[in-house]
Structure 1
Amino acid sequence: MDEESLDILDDSLDDIEPVGEKPTELYEHFRVVVDKGQASIRVDKYLADKFANISRNRIQLAADAGMLRANEKPVKSSYKVKGGDILTIMMDRPRYDHDIKPENIALDIVYEDTDVIVVNKPAGMVVHPGCGNYSGTMVNAIAWHLKDNPKYDPNDPSVGLVHRIDKDTSGLLVVAKTPEAKTDLGWQFFNKTTKRKYIALVWGIIDEDEGTIEGNIGRNPKDRMQMAVLSDPTQGKYAVTHFHVLERLGYITKVECVLETGRTHQIRVHMKHIGHVLFNDARYGGDQILKGTNFSKYKQFVENCFRICPRQALHAMTLGFTHPRTKKEMFFTAPLPEDISNLIDKWRNYISNREK
């Protein structure tokens, strides 16, 4: 799979849902509700089909250890699932399939201490190796940055990235340097106590000053390279995005988006769902002129805008969390990158000249 397709698979790590009491040991946690129409099959086969990165053998080992449950009761791997079952499973975290090599890649580090690193990721950088892209990622860069730290093993999933953003989205990410920090921060993301604000430019003028978008997100059945809001409430993953209009700029709107959940392409999908595709979001059709006039001068103006910001206009601007060791509330802000700032200025000038 090519690099352009990678971000569709780069699910947010907080899509992995912790269950039960806060763990004292480090595990991967998964929770799934079986669709009502699901045929009765063995639970180990059902989960192996559901999660492509979990082998059937690992599921069977979890069941043998009493870590596989249906409706809060331990079950064997031969248990037959039925519609409505709530399945939970806890497993030892595996090492990655491919060794992560440290690479001397510059990082914009906003904050660092013995437990965490907050990084401002540039647009165009893949966050995590995978799908044939095993170099040049932020994880490789972090491995280089921490190469002299004997306690940090980049190939150990109990440390490292806590959440992810798409390749062509810029902005803040937090990295855990210790297993304890990753467990604690992962729990905060699951419980929705972290603070995440994004700045986006979308096509069209949003009439409301603010609003909330709810809708389960899953694979688009008509295009497997896209995510979509699914009409069937039993499918996909529950997602909530709050938005607030910051500025109306003729045929586009600058908005602030606050995430309650962290689903793949959540803002991109939710904004499209309400009719406001992100500006220059090629995957979802935002790289076409969706609003405006038919004049050639306007067409040239928009094409210039696409060149100024050659990716979806989305930036993870604010990140807040409770420090996993000190329990102090921490907030970080990454200013708008140059491409989005220049894009906003260009639209402001366009509107100003049009009104003269």
Structure 2
Amino acid sequence: MKNHHSGGQRPQSKKSQTTLLEVKEQEELMKFLIAQLPHKNRNNIKSLLKKRQVLVDGKAITQFNHLLKPGQKVAFENAPAPIARQMRGVVVVHEDKDLIVVNKNAGLLTIATDKERRETVYSILSNYVKDQDKDNKIFIVHRLDRETSGLMLFAKNKEMKELLQESWKKTIAERSYLAVIDGKLDPSEGTYRSYLFESKVFKVHSTQDPDKGQPAVTHYSTLKSNDEYSLLKVNLETGRKNQIRVHLQDLKHAIIGDKKYGSTSNPIGRLGLHAWVLAFKHPLTGKNMRFETSIPGSFLKLF
């Protein structure tokens, strides 16, 4: 007999699955798993969810706060789902029915350009949501430069994309970046303002002439420094393309590894810029969401 399985389900081979647990009362998946798997800690369980190894009634679930109903069956796959193995460079930090927050590695483009067709955050996530249901889609809300790592927010439907883009300024409570620069800033904190415009060769330039570009405001403070480098926390008031990179060049302390904007050093083999904190008000539930990633190890080892 053929095994029909739809959208997010996977054909079940008895060999690949272990324990089958029955849900007795309504509760969040994480709580249920912690109680049922005393030999595993929270991180082990998060890893199982991330790798799509937890199945509820045969369907892979990644959200730890997924609500279980009495009578449902929870099973585990011994091996990570194929899609979880393919998501190189992208980790899903949060997902609900309307939006998805990911942490991306440096070196990944947000979306393909005319010149660039290789794997992007958009194509990886597109496959990821289509694996759950072939009609699912992903929508870009904002971008990160290819060489920047860190947190990004995507919408899972057109309504959410529009809601986020229309109310971006009001919705986003905090966007903090970490930047490693050459040398020390004096004063160690401050705000820099200029007007940015893009040249024909896609390089962004800064000017103090308001007629020439779009206003850009960057707040910065020094978290750590030594004789060679400083680690800054940077907050954007305006999210212009390459804004942090250009403003730090203006301040005569370019970001390490940023040859395009004036850096001559490259101690970690990548651009020293990371989208560290993303906090926003969920446009539909009104809930305050806050995500913070750990400081990249390569940044810390310079101090």
TM bucket normalised to smaller? 0.5 to 0.7
Structure 1 residue aligned with 2:212: 235
- Letter of the 2:224 counterpart: E
Equivalent positions of 1:166-181 (< 5 A) are 166-181=145-160
Residue 279 (str. 1) matches residue 253 (str. 2): no
Match of residue 325, structure 1, among 276, 284, 287: 284
In the TM superposition, what whole-angstrom CA distance separates every residue of 1:118-145 from its partner, at most 9, and x where no partner exists? 0001000111011232231011101111
Match of residue 273, structure 2, among 265, 290, 314: 314
In 2, distance between residues paired with 1:330 and 1:145?
22
How far apart are residue 190 of structure 1 and its match? 4.1
Structure 1 unaligned segments of length 5 or more: list them: 1-102, 155-159, 290-305, 349-356
Structure 2 unaligned segments of length 5 or more: list them: 1-84
Structure 1 residue aligned with 2:177: 198
Match of residue 245, structure 1, among 207, 216, 222: 222
Structure 2 residue aligned with 1:122: 105
Equivalent positions of 1:1-356 (< 5 A) are 104-106=86-88, 107-147=90-130, 148-154=132-138, 160-191=139-170, 193-220=172-199, 224-286=201-263, 288-289=264-265, 306=266, 309-342=268-301, 344=302, 348=303
In 1, distance between residues paired with 2:291 and 2:206?
30
In the TM superposition, what whole-angstrom CA distance separates every residue of 1:6-64 from its partner, at most 9, and x where no partner exists? xxxxxxxxxxxxxxxxxxxxxxxxxxxxxxxxxxxxxxxxxxxxxxxxxxxxxxxxxxx
In 2, distance between residues paired with 1:192 and 1:257?
19
How far apart are residue 310 of structure 1 and its match? 1.1
In the TM superposition, what whole-angstrom CA distance separates every residue of 1:183-206 from its partner, at most 9, and x where no partner exists? 121123244744100000111211
In the TM superposition, what whole-angstrom CA distance separates every residue of 1:55-87 from its partner, at most 9, and x where no partner exists? xxxxxxxxxxxxxxxxxxxxxxxxxxxxxxxxx
Would you tell me which structure has more strand in proportion to its own residues? 2
How far apart are residue 235 of structure 1 and its match? 1.5
In 1, distance between residues paired with 2:157 and 2:133?
11
In 1, distance between residues paired with 2:171 and 2:97?
24
- Letter of the 2:289 counterpart: M
In the TM superposition, what whole-angstrom CA distance separates every residue of 1:122-178 from its partner, at most 9, and x where no partner exists? 000111011232231011101111013355235xxxxx1211110010000001012
In 2, distance between residues paired with 1:134 and 1:330?
33
Contact residue 170 and residue 316 of structure 1 kept, 8 A: yes
In 2, distance between residues paired with 1:105 and 1:131?
23
Aligned residue for 2:215, secondary structure, equals coil
CA separation of 1:116 and 1:192: change in aligned 2, threshold 3 A: closer
In the TM superposition, what whole-angstrom CA distance separates every residue of 1:72-128 from its partner, at most 9, and x where no partner exists? xxxxxxxxxxxxxxxxxxxxxxxxxxxxxxx94333111111111100010001110
In 1, distance between residues paired with 2:205 and 2:180?
19
Structure 2 residue aligned with 1:157: none
Contact residue 127 and residue 167 of structure 1 kept, 8 A: yes
Aligned residue for 1:215, secondary structure, equals strand
In 2, distance between residues paired with 1:281 and 1:339?
15
Q: TM-score, length-normalised on structure 2? A: 0.67
Aligned residue for 2:167, secondary structure, equals helix
Share of identical aligned residues, percent? 32
In 2, distance between residues paired with 1:198 and 1:124?
17
* Bigger Cα displacement from structure 2, 333-342 vs 175-184: 333-342
CA separation of 1:113 and 1:192: change in aligned 2, threshold 3 A: closer
- Letter of the 2:126 counterpart: A
CA separation of 1:220 and 1:203: change in aligned 2, threshold 3 A: farther
Contact residue 277 and residue 284 of structure 1 kept, 8 A: yes
How far apart are residue 180 of structure 1 and its match? 2.0
How far apart are residue 335 of structure 1 and its match? 1.0
What stretches of structure 1 move > 6 A for 4+ residues in a row? Answer: none
Structure 2 residue aligned with 1:74: none
In the TM superposition, what whole-angstrom CA distance separates every residue of 1:280-337 from its partner, at most 9, and x where no partner exists? 1121121x15xxxxxxxxxxxxxxxx35x11210000000111121011111011122
How far apart are residue 276 of structure 1 and its match? 1.1
In 1, distance between residues paired with 2:173 and 2:135?
26
Contact residue 120 and residue 171 of structure 1 kept, 8 A: yes
In 2, distance between residues paired with 1:257 and 1:186?
22
